[in-house]
Amino acid sequence: MSAPPSEQSFAGSVASPGLALGPIRLHVTAAAASAIPQRTPAEERKALEAAITAARARLTELAEVSDPMAAEILTVQIAFLEDSELAAPALAAITGGESAMAAWRAAMNEQIAGYQESDNAYFRARAVDMIDLRDRVADGLASKTTAPPPPTDAILVAEDLPPSRFLETDWSCYRGAVLMQGSAASHVSMLARARGIPMLIGLDADLSALADGAAAVLDAEGGCLIQHPAAATLDRCRQRLARLQADATADAAFLNKPAVTADGTRVQVCLNVDDPAALESIDPAACNGIGLTRSEFLFFGDTGLPDEETQFQTYLRLLAWADGKPVTVRTLDAGGDKPIAGLTPDQETNPFLGQRGLRLSLARPEVFRVQLRALARAAARGPLKVMVPMVTVPAELNRTRALFQEVAKDLLAEGFEARMPSLGMMVEVPAAALAIATFDADFYSIGSNDLVQYVTAASRDNAAVADLYDPLNPAVIELIERVVSHGAATGREVSLCGDMAAEPKFLAPLLNAGLRVLSVASASLAQTKAAVARCTLSESG
Ligand code: PEP
Ligand code: MG
């Protein structure tokens, strides 16, 4: 009898947190079929055209049932397939005697290499969309009609996963996903986070080291995939899962109650919105409104920058959902880890310290004005608040206010309903936190994700310096207290909307620093309210 395979652990970066246990399901695309043509060039040509048409039809179907952000990604893929330039080199090679499969793959591989070699992180991340198109059409050519039966509670492992494959995956069959590649800028990491699917990217392993069907633990908390887990590892994992499940059930009881500490202090808990589609499953009664809307989702599609009407309608939908509760929209925070093609600079040596957030908006007033106009129109229709990211000096806030007032005045002159909303600022830059009293903002929202990285000089997405990226660093807490005191002294609201707000172990320090308004992702709403209920301020200080 052969010995059972021994446990193997592979490190990866956490793209979406969580823990899962299940068999590995390797996602392997159709291998290239024979390079020898089986048909006449005319038949090979017809086969390629039919496969392209079928792939386009499938993507169109998918776009129709997807949320707006995902649909935009798919629309760009469809546009590629509709462009006759895409297939032209393959068709020429077929005329020269190659098989449709070999010609198509060679032509697409050349395009993909161009994207992968780009200096621009955004274009590199788009290579995955082209790989998806290559494989979809290749699958059609190979007449791959017999898909394997859906797995049960498996961990999906793939080289990379384009958004379209993510969207058409039935995630009820999977407990999590692991990608050999992936990037922080990839849409798929964002989609996984928005849907609460645990995901690791950049696994330190070769796909061939993993076995389809092997038992595995996906630890998207510690950042590793464990193949063939030993009995003790499985036990620990099952215990942790049982604890997580019991905690989630207990926390759910707090979802629809006001958040009040054990000693009676009321805390407002608002929602962070990255993707409005996620709001469909949430009752607005469970929160105190929207504390942060990352408006980048409007700009991530590849179909160009969103026009005023598109933005206006989106902001109105948020107001309608909130049903009278305040909705805070953050103006575009492009740059850093969120490049936007055609907008963010390409060659910055340190994008986190470059032209991101409000710096970029002020440098591109023709883009900023469109967003401010849409926001001023929406503000006339409900309790909208607007805040600006990455503010460093008061002049930036003052320029924003002046531009906003000008835009609102123009709109009124043009006969639109418009209003200048309450204008707040995110506190993410240490210089702004230190000199907070010099900023004439209507409210302040502390962006701890960035504040911590700038105070500790430790990147928020680099596991190698994760121990230095400490939200409880005394310097961070001192800055938070400073902002809260200034808010209290001037009667202005101070909230905190970084991930720190959703981590129960940070709650007591935040409440003891005087914070009374938190904003968290929807998946953390119940847990945060439950943590508030367990907190006793007088004891935890
Ligand atoms: C933050 O920095 O804490 C924040 C909420 O903004 P983002 O995570 O979008 O940079
Ligand atoms: Mg930030």
Q: How far apart are CA 33 and CA 19, in angstroms?
A: 38
3 within a domain of the structure (yes/no): no
Amino acid (1-letter code) at residue 13: S
Cβ of residue 72 lying under 6 Å from some atom of ligand 1: no
380 and 362 in one domain?
Answer: yes
20: closest CA among 217, 240, 226? Answer: 217
Nearest ligand 1 atom to the CA of 500 is 3
| CA 336–ligand 1 middle distance (angstroms) | 11
493: closest CA among 518, 522, 473, 525? Answer: 518
173 is known as an active-site residue: no
| CA 428–ligand 1 middle distance (angstroms) | 8
Domain C-terminal end among 119, 141, 163? 141
160 and 293 in one domain?
Answer: no
Cβ of residue 333 lying under 6 Å from some atom of ligand 1: yes
497 is known as an active-site residue: yes
| CA 24–ligand 1 middle distance (angstroms) | 33
Question: Tokens in use for 452?
Answer: 């911590």
Looking at ligand 1, which residue's alpha carbon is closest to its atom 9? Answer: 294
Domain C-terminal end among 184, 212, 247? 247
Nearest ligand 1 atom to the CA of 292 is 5
To test the ligand 1 pocket, which listed residue (428, 496, 503) has its Cβ within 8 A of the most ligand atoms? 428
Q: How far apart are CA 21 and CA 15, in angstroms?
A: 17
DSSP, collapsed to helix, strand or coil, labels residue 243 as helix
DSSP state of 502: G
517 and 450 in one domain?
Answer: yes
428 within a domain of the structure (yes/no): yes
pLDDT bucket at 238, cuts 50 / 70 / 90: very high
In the chain, what percentage of residues exceed pLDDT 70? 91
538 within a domain of the structure (yes/no): no
Residue 504 has pLDDT above 80, yes or no: yes
H or E element in which residue 65 lies:
none
Name the catalytic one among 237, 287, 497, 535.
497
Cβ of residue 274 lying under 6 Å from some atom of ligand 1: no
> 431 φ, ψ to 5°?
-60, -35
Q: Return the bridge partners of 20, or none.
A: 218
408 within a domain of the structure (yes/no): yes
**What are the C-alpha distances in Å from 11 to residues 122, 197, 215, 218, 309?**
25, 18, 17, 10, 45
541 within a domain of the structure (yes/no): no
DSSP one-letter string for 206-238: -GGGS-TT-EEEEEETTTEEEES--HHHHHHHH
| CA 498–ligand 1 middle distance (angstroms) | 5
To test the ligand 1 pocket, which listed residue (338, 444, 449) has its Cβ within 8 A of the most ligand atoms? 449
503 and 437 in one domain?
Answer: yes
444 and 314 in one domain?
Answer: yes
What average pLDDT does the segment 162-179 reach?
A: 84
103 and 169 in one domain?
Answer: no
Nearest ligand 1 atom to the CA of 450 is 2
CATH of residue 180: 3.50.30.10
Q: Which tens digit of pLDDT belongs to each residue from 332-356?
A: 999 887 788 788 888 788 989 999 9
| CA 192–ligand 1 middle distance (angstroms) | 18
Nearest ligand 1 atom to the CA of 294 is 9
Comparing 142 with 355, which gets the higher pLDDT? Answer: 355
Q: How far apart are CA 390 and CA 397, in angstroms?
A: 10
Cβ of residue 287 lying under 6 Å from some atom of ligand 1: no
Ligand nearest to the CA of 451: 1
How many other CB atoms sit within 10 Å of the CB of residue 38? 12
pLDDT bucket at 1, cuts 50 / 70 / 90: low
**Upper half-sphere CA count for residue 135 (Cβ side, 13 Å):** 17
pLDDT at 2: 65
Sequence-separated (6 or more) residues with CB below 8 Å from residue 531: 504, 507
pLDDT bucket at 32, cuts 50 / 70 / 90: very low
Looking at ligand 1, which residue's alpha carbon is closest to its atom 7? Answer: 449
What range does the domain containing 171 cover? 8-29+146-247
pLDDT at 506: 96
Nearest ligand 1 atom to the CA of 497 is 5
pLDDT at 450: 93
Q: Which tens digit of pLDDT belongs to each residue from 71-130?
A: 777 888 898 899 888 999 999 999 988 888 889 988 988 888 888 788 776 777 677 788
Cβ of residue 449 lying under 6 Å from some atom of ligand 1: yes
262 and 152 in one domain?
Answer: no
Task: Give me the sheet containing 174-179, strands edge to edge.
Answer: 8-11, 224-227, 215-220, 18-27, 154-158, 174-179, 199-201, 13-16
Cβ of residue 455 lying under 6 Å from some atom of ligand 1: no
Domain C-terminal end among 85, 110, 141? 141
Q: Return the bridge partners of 23, or none.
A: 215
| CA 433–ligand 1 middle distance (angstroms) | 15
Ligand nearest to the CA of 295: 1
Q: Which tens digit of pLDDT belongs to each residue from 247-294?
A: 889 999 999 999 999 999 999 999 999 888 878 889 999 999 999 999
Cβ of residue 294 lying under 6 Å from some atom of ligand 1: yes
Cβ of residue 99 lying under 6 Å from some atom of ligand 1: no
| CA 428–ligand 2 middle distance (angstroms) | 6
pLDDT at 112: 87
Cβ of residue 498 lying under 6 Å from some atom of ligand 1: yes
286 and 416 in one domain?
Answer: yes
**What are the C-alpha distances in Å from 162 to residues 135, 172, 292?**
11, 18, 27
207 and 113 in one domain?
Answer: no
CATH of residue 509: 3.20.20.60
DSSP one-letter string for 301-364: SSS-SPPHHHHHHHHHHHHHHHTTS-EEEEPP--BTTB--TTTS-S--S-GGGSS-THHHHHH-
Q: How far apart are CA 463 and CA 226, in angstroms?
A: 18
528 and 480 in one domain?
Answer: yes
What average pLDDT does the segment 440-469 reach?
A: 90
Residue 37 has pLDDT above 60, yes or no: no
402 and 287 in one domain?
Answer: yes
What average pLDDT does the segment 177-186 reach?
A: 72
Residue 539 has pLDDT above 70, yes or no: no
246 by Cβ neighbours in 10 Å (0-12 / 13-18 / 19+) ranks as: exposed
492 within a domain of the structure (yes/no): yes
Pairing mode, if any, of strands 8-11 and 224-227?
antiparallel
CB 196 within 8 Å of CB 18: yes
| CA 82–ligand 1 middle distance (angstroms) | 37
To test the ligand 1 pocket, which listed residue (273, 275, 426, 446) has its Cβ within 8 A of the most ligand atoms? 426
CB 522 within 8 Å of CB 271: yes
391 and 310 in one domain?
Answer: yes
- Across the chain, mean pLDDT equals 89
Ligand nearest to the CA of 447: 1
Please count the structural domains in the chain: 3
pLDDT bucket at 35, cuts 50 / 70 / 90: very low
526 within a domain of the structure (yes/no): yes
